[in-house]
Amino acid sequence: MTDPRVLIVGAGIAGLGAVHALRAKGVRADVVERHPQAEAGGTGIYLPANAVRALSALGFGDAIRGAGHEIRRQRMLDHRGRVLLDLPIDQVWGGLGPSVAVRHAELRRILRAGLDGQIVVKTFVSDDAAPYDLVIGADGIRSAVREWVFPDAAAPRRVGELAWRFVVDGYDVEHLWCTWQGNGRTFLAVSLGGGYAYCYADLTAAAPPAGDWRRLFDGFPETVRSLVARAGDVHAAAIEEVFLDDVSRGKTVLIGDAAHAYSPNMAQGAALALEDGLVLAEHLDDLAGYARRRVPRARWVRDQTRRRDRARHLPPVLRDAALRTIGPRLFKAAFRPLHEPP
């Protein structure tokens, strides 16, 4: 395209990343966003090495390393606190680069840099797309663009997990990503530095539990119980999955959660979204080529995510034995293809 007119629907991680990727190619995009306030703004996010690599390619490497807290180990414990798996991050990512944890609002602040006046808060209406050469649907798992342009696509599917996310203080463990694996429930704490942690708790269930969800973790170690007890601003949601083999139609293309969203056990949501924008910027004239590069990678993450969820839901005795014996090998193998550039 020569001087293409591009509309990006959605100013989340995928949309903001795409704005900067296009700008680096000399393409200006208009951005519309329905929600002026960031969703999950009060929580945190873990960015594995391929996400940090993508941010660096967008010009934000120094900013994310400065705002984030480097994670150097990944550890999995059982619900009593006994070690099941303990790996240096470099063994998982092969020295690709740092992995960091950061407050969600800080990541959005970084990605909004230099975009004042370029993001318009409005409800997207289909007629708005008419003057554009390309419409990029980056409007999340409940994408209006997907619903309008891909009416045959399956709706988001619940995977049978409920999750609670929050940030708390009083966690003095640095540089660690750590889970406690219970029977049908898991608790994750990721250090944000300065005594803060981003926490993610989940339960395998179709409907919310009766009573206070915090009671689900009464049998866990004191570290978990104290973090749960201090949870204040909690973002609760049912986990859903979306996956499209066909991500482009006519002059419209889907990126980020609008095209692929899964259970977060591989922490690849932001990474895939940022990679999508970088690759799309190279394929504005060839959306089929974009799909050939991105769909297989997104499918790999989906398949690995499903396998990890199935393993996590094994009877605890079998699950724990597997994690102790072959867990490190499987853990590293799941991420190895993602070492390659997108």
- CB-count burial class (<10 Å; 0-12, 13-18, 19+) for 22: buried
pLDDT reported for residue 42: 77
> How does strand 176-181 pair with strand 73-78?
parallel
d(CA 45, CA 295): 24
Whose tokens are 């391929």? That residue is: 50
pLDDT at position 124 is 58
What pLDDT is stored for residue 123 in this prediction?
64
3-state SS record for 175-202: CEEEEEECCCEEEEEEEEECCEEEEEEE
pLDDT for residue 41: 62
Tens-digit pLDDT profile for the chain (342 aa)?
678 999 999 999 999 999 999 999 999 999 998 876 655 567 999 999 999 999 999 999 999 999 999 999 999 999 999 999 999 999 999 989 999 999 999 999 999 999 987 787 766 555 566 689 999 999 999 999 999 999 999 999 999 999 999 999 999 999 999 999 999 999 999 999 999 999 999 999 999 999 999 999 999 999 999 999 999 899 999 999 999 999 999 999 999 999 999 999 999 999 999 999 999 999 999 999 999 999 999 999 999 999 999 888 889 999 999 999 999 999 999 999 999 999
pLDDT at 36: 65
* Distance of alpha carbon 75 from alpha carbon 49, whole angstroms: 17
**How is the chain split into domains, by residue range?**
6-72+98-158+239-313
HSE (side-chain half, CA atoms, 13 Å) at 84: 23
Q: Domain 6-72+98-158+239-313: give its CATH code.
A: 3.50.50.60
Q: What is the pLDDT of residue 12?
A: 94
> Across the strands, what pairs with 263?
none
Structure pTM? 0.95
Tokens encoding 337? 């293809």
CB 141, CB 156: distance < 8 Å: yes
